[in-house]
Amino acid sequence: MARTALTAIVCGGPWDYDGVLLTFTAADATNKNQVVLTGRELVIVNNTNVGAQSVTFTSVADPYGRTKDMTFSIPAAAYRVFGPFTRQGWDSGGQLLIDAGAADVLLCVLRLPDSWTGK
């Protein structure tokens, strides 16, 4: 079955004073999730459960052949921010792959603007 696609919210540039409204989507624990990866994505995870939940970001081999999926525990009622995810080590056919074990894990993907350089 195909992974469920998430839509990234594009952040405004340095002169955007209105901000962006965050929209969270319940994780698809069965089919898993994916989002188009440009190298400027941040993932905000909210665990709405009363117990800890986990989220995993699936890696791909970098130019040196290294891989290491990253699994994190999210405490009850907590938020965590991950990224930005670069293409190197994370680009799986143009997608960032995200796995969460339950629908009470909410995901929000922010995409930094094209002008972001990471410096």
Q: How is the chain split into domains, by residue range?
A: 4-111
Which of the four CATH numbers 1.10.357, 3.40.50, 2.60.290, 3.10.450 does domain 4-111 have? 2.60.290
* Residues facing residue 54 across a β-bridge: 73
Residue 3 backbone dihedrals phi, psi, to 5 degrees: -65, 150
Residue-wise pLDDT for 10-47, tens only, equals: 998 777 778 899 999 999 999 999 999 999 999 999 99
* Confidence (pTM): 0.92
- Summarised one tens digit per residue, pLDDT across range 61-106 is 988 888 899 999 999 999 999 999 999 999 999 999 999 999 999 9
